């Protein structure tokens, strides 16, 4: 599909992609280098103490240093707008695909960091980083963002306990909810908004947030949601509800975004649909197979999240003030149910949970597509199996900013372009609901009045993460 406008790229120095190449990627790369130095230091200390392991640890350190060098060179090349190197044949997915695209860009001299389309270049960056680790012996399964993801997750305790209590209170209302669809709808709206604002805490954008900032972003409850409502620039909650309430024992798919708090909100939304409504009885979650856009969920993150929630000391030790005994019990109850849904297959991952990062059986799974730069309107051509599978879904929830960019091809659409038009041929394939806080320039399906008002209020509305879009489109 050929869109009638060009994609965003950093040649526009006022756009967010320019700021990303100049400021944000270097910070992310420097963060990986720091992390590797820390890991190497730990191995160094271990090697002094553990003579049996000394050689193996030293080999690991040497490889770690080589990866640091590659990343430092990448950072240097990026800042000087050098040519983007081909992805090496590392045995993992999509290397040829990325390289063919690079060759095509080279024909118009756009195969450099400041000229390539932003969506392509950013996906390429994470795939290239993956190749550095995939080609090593000792760092093959290393996720350079793991400790960062875990760290922010441990800081989300206050909000997580708050939500667990809301879910506990819901239990008491179960019989009322069963007989009163209007009441169910009110809770549905709370859930959808919690899940939407869960996307505000992704780590690639908010690189230096304080604990207070995090808590502010994550706070739930009616007052907070009412206050945030004016920041939802397109609100298809009503349409989404209408659609969901026509389903019976259906399947919902979540194309996941970030690990930690956001994943928790996705699980809770899914739990609500399965436990409290007659509409949904199965949920499929789609993670990323490789470390992706810093904080995206990988299969190990998914498994670890549920384990951590079940571990009574995991969040309680980092939450201040500490949770009450009741709160702890509410979280145990919720986490126990999530775990049971996974065990029983009510919740499933689109990859086997034990799949190592990348490689192997991943080739057979339906998860590879999410780490290509392909706009979703070409899903049917590039991954007909995935497209076929999603066609059987009663609702595909696409979380976050990157999914939104891929839905719309990251094209410079005028903001009044109808949502379905910006989806190209994907429109109508399956019912879809995009929940996105705005962290990139692209925005479509807006109302003229809302647009005018928002422009006047905050000219940075496209990228500062304060505004959001709830976009629903049914199947035709
Ligand atoms: O850096 C590019 C980007 O897509 C931003 O637009 C956004 O801040 C981030 O990466 C990913 O956001 P999300 O986790 O919501 O997809
Ligand atoms: Mg993300």
Pocket test for ligand 1, best of 287, 402, 436 (most atoms within 8 A of CB): 402
Cis upstream peptide for 126 (omega within 30°): no
When pLDDT is cut at 50, 70 and 90, the band that residue 247 belongs to is very high
pLDDT digits (tens, 9 = 90+) for 161-171: 989 998 998 88
363 CA → ligand 2 middle, Å: 22
Say whether pTM exceeds 0.90: yes
161 and 266: one domain?
A: yes
156 pocket-lining for ligand 1 (C-beta < 6 Å): no
422 and 356: one domain?
A: yes
Q: What is the structure's pLDDT at 96?
A: 92
Q: What is the structure's pLDDT at 364?
A: 45
296 CA → ligand 1 middle, Å: 10
Domain containing 158 — which CATH number? 3.40.50.10880
- Going by alpha carbons, the residue nearest to atom 7 of ligand 1 is 439
296 CA → ligand 2 middle, Å: 5
11 lies in some domain: no
- Which of residues 98, 120, 142 is at a domain's end? 142
Across 72-89, average pLDDT: 98
2 lies in some domain: no
Pocket test for ligand 1, best of 16, 121, 204, 405 (most atoms within 8 A of CB): 204
Ligand whose nearest atom lies closest to the CA of 469: 1
Reduced to 3 states (helix: H, G, I; strand: E, B; else coil), residue 211 is: helix
273 and 381: one domain?
A: yes
In this structure, are residues 140 and 63 in contact, taking their beta carbons and an 8 Å threshold?
A: no
440 pocket-lining for ligand 1 (C-beta < 6 Å): yes
400 pocket-lining for ligand 1 (C-beta < 6 Å): yes
233 and 350: one domain?
A: yes
375 lies in some domain: yes
For residue 403, give the ligand 1 atom closest to its CA: 16
Beta bridge partners of 285: 254, 349
400 CA → ligand 1 middle, Å: 8
3 lies in some domain: no
180 and 68: one domain?
A: no
Ligand whose nearest atom lies closest to the CA of 400: 1
430 CA → ligand 2 middle, Å: 23
471 CA → ligand 2 middle, Å: 18
Ligand whose nearest atom lies closest to the CA of 125: 1
418 lies in some domain: yes
What is the number of structural domains in the chain? 2
1 lies in some domain: no
135 and 191: one domain?
A: no
205 pocket-lining for ligand 1 (C-beta < 6 Å): yes
> What beta strand segments (E) does 158-256 contain?
232-235, 250-255
121 pocket-lining for ligand 1 (C-beta < 6 Å): no
For residue 202, give the ligand 1 atom closest to its CA: 14
20 pocket-lining for ligand 1 (C-beta < 6 Å): yes
172 and 132: one domain?
A: no
pLDDT digits (tens, 9 = 90+) for 170-179: 888 888 888 8
Residue 409 has pLDDT above 80, yes or no: yes
When pLDDT is cut at 50, 70 and 90, the band that residue 208 belongs to is very low
In this structure, are residues 17 and 8 in contact, taking their beta carbons and an 8 Å threshold?
A: yes
Residue 219 has pLDDT above 70, yes or no: no
- Which of residues 90, 117, 142 is at a domain's end? 142
469 CA → ligand 1 middle, Å: 14
205 CA → ligand 2 middle, Å: 9
**Interface predicted TM-score of the whole assembly (ipTM), two decimals:** 0.96
- Which of residues 142, 167, 184 is at a domain's end? 142
For residue 203, give the ligand 1 atom closest to its CA: 14
327 and 186: one domain?
A: yes
For residue 20, give the ligand 1 atom closest to its CA: 1
CA distance 276 to 269: 10
199 pocket-lining for ligand 1 (C-beta < 6 Å): yes
Nearest by Cα to 288 from 207, 372, 377: 372
* Lookup: tokens for 396: 């595909």
Q: What is the structure's pLDDT at 186?
A: 87
Residue-wise DSSP of 249-282 = SEEEEEE--BSTHHHHHHHHHHHHHHHH-SSEEE
Pocket test for ligand 1, best of 259, 439, 468 (most atoms within 8 A of CB): 439
Residue 324 has pLDDT above 90, yes or no: yes
335 lies in some domain: yes
232 and 138: one domain?
A: no
117 and 218: one domain?
A: no
In this structure, are residues 250 and 475 in contact, taking their beta carbons and an 8 Å threshold?
A: no
8 lies in some domain: no
Domain containing 120 — which CATH number? 1.20.930.60
Q: What is the structure's pLDDT at 366?
A: 67
131 and 166: one domain?
A: no
pLDDT digits (tens, 9 = 90+) for 346-397: 999 998 655 444 433 444 456 889 999 999 999 999 988 899 999 999 999 9
Pocket test for ligand 1, best of 15, 293, 295 (most atoms within 8 A of CB): 293
391 CA → ligand 1 middle, Å: 26
Element holding 396 (H helix, E strand): strand 395-399
Ligand whose nearest atom lies closest to the CA of 287: 2
CA distances from 465 to 200, 201, 257, 391, 437 (A): 6, 9, 15, 31, 5
**Whole domain around residue 131: which residue ranges?**
16-142
Q: What is the structure's pLDDT at 360?
A: 38
- Going by alpha carbons, the residue nearest to atom 14 of ligand 1 is 202
63 pocket-lining for ligand 1 (C-beta < 6 Å): no
* Lookup: tokens for 356: 């190592």
Q: What is the structure's pLDDT at 306?
A: 96
For residue 295, give the ligand 1 atom closest to its CA: 14
136 and 233: one domain?
A: no
439 pocket-lining for ligand 1 (C-beta < 6 Å): yes
Q: What is the structure's pLDDT at 16?
A: 97
203 CA → ligand 2 middle, Å: 7
């Amino acid at each position: 599909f050929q869109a009638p406008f060009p994609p965003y790229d950093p040649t526009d120095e006022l756009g967010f992609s320019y700021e990303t190449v100049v400021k944000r990627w270097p910070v992310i790369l420097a963060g990986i280098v720091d992390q590797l130095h820390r890991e190497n230091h730990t191995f160094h200390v271990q090697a002094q103490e553990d003579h049996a392991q000394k050689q193996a640890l030293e080999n690991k350190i040497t490889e770690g240093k080589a990866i640091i060098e590659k990343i430092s060179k990448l950072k240097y090349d990026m800042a000087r707008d050098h040519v983007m190197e081909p992805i090496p044949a590392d045995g993992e997915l999509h290397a040829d695909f990325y390289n063919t695209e690079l060759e095509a860009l080279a024909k118009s001299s756009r195969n450099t960091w400041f000229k390539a389309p932003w969506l392509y270049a950013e996906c390429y960056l994470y795939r290239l980083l993956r190749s550095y680790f995939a080609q090593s012996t000792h760092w093959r399964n290393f996720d350079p963002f793991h400790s960062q993801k875990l760290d922010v997750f441990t800081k989300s305790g206050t909000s997580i306990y708050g939500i667990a209590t809301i879910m506990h209170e819901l239990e008491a209302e179960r019989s009322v909810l069963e007989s009163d669809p209007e009441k169910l709808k009110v809770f549905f709206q709370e859930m959808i908004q919690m899940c939407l604002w869960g996307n505000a805490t992704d780590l690639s954008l908010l690189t230096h947030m304080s604990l207070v900032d995090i808590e502010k972003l994550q706070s739930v409850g009616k007052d907070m949601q009412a206050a945030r409502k004016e920041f939802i620039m397109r609100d298809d909650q009503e349409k989404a509800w209408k659609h969901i309430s026509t389903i019976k024992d259906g399947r919902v798919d979540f194309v996941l975004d970030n690990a930690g708090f956001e994943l928790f909100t996705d699980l809770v939304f899914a739990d609500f649909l399965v436990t409290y409504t007659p509409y949904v009885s199965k949920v499929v979650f789609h993670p990323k197979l490789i470390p992706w856009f810093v904080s995206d969920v990988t299969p190990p993150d998914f498994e670890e999240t549920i384990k951590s929630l079940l571990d009574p000391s995991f969040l309680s030790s980092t939450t201040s003030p500490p949770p009450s005994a009741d709160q702890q019990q509410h979280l145990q109850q919720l986490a126990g149910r999530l775990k049971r849904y996974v065990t029983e297959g009510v919740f499933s991952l689109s990859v086997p949970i034990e799949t190592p990062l990348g490689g192997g059986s991943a080739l057979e799974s339906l998860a590879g597509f999410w780490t290509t730069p392909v706009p979703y309107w070409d899903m049917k051509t590039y991954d007909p199996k995935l497209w076929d599978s999603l066609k059987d879904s009663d609702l595909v929830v696409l979380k976050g900013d990157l999914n939104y960019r891929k839905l719309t091809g990251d094209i410079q659409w005028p903001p009044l372009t109808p949502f379905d038009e910006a989806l190209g041929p994907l429109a109508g394939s399956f019912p879809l609901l995009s929940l996105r806080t705005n962290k990139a320039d692209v925005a479509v399906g807006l109302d003229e009045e809302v647009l005018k008002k928002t422009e006047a209020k905050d000219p940075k509305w496209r990228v500062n993460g304060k505004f959001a879009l709830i976009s629903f489109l049914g199947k035709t």
